[in-house]
Amino acid sequence: MQPPKLTTIAQTLRKRDTWAEKLLWSWLRDRRFSSYKFRRQHPFGPHILDFFCLEACLNIELDGFGHGYPAQKKLDAMRDAWLEARGIKVMRFWNSHLRGQKQAIRDSIWSTLQQRAPHPLPDYCQPGPCKSLRASQGGKEA
């Protein structure tokens, strides 16, 4: 059970998300990312995790400019070490990279999820009718 204060802070953070958090949440919410369940602003121990997937024990953090300062980098490293000691992998992305590197970030998240808790590809990613056509022709392209 989390302390009530931490839960209240998490609820407030959910109401005040940044543009980057809104974008990433649009990818991850409602099991949209190959059925992986993510929780947003999830209290865990003394911390609040930005985007947490329990199944893969994965936390995705989005960092703004404040995380570039040496003192904040040190705090982030200590926090990440604390989480990793509890089996939670932490991925960090700069907010500014979400605009120009969307596909690379999605690919990185997908790869990490697959390493930690593999899921089959969704139906819309499976090879279509051409798969059976190629198989009937001995694997040769038409």
> Each residue of 19-64: pLDDT tens digit?
889 999 999 999 988 889 999 989 898 888 999 999 999 999 998 7
* Contact present, 52 and 59 (Cβ < 8 Å): yes
pTM: 0.75
Instruction: Give the strand pairing for 47-53 and 39-44.
Output: antiparallel
d(CA 103, CA 46): 32
Q: What is the DSSP string of 90-130?
A: EEEEETTHHHH-HHHHHHHHHHHHHHHS--PPPGGGS--HH
Q: CATH topology for 4-136?
A: Endonuclease; Chain A (3.40.960)
Boundaries of every domain in the chain: 4-136
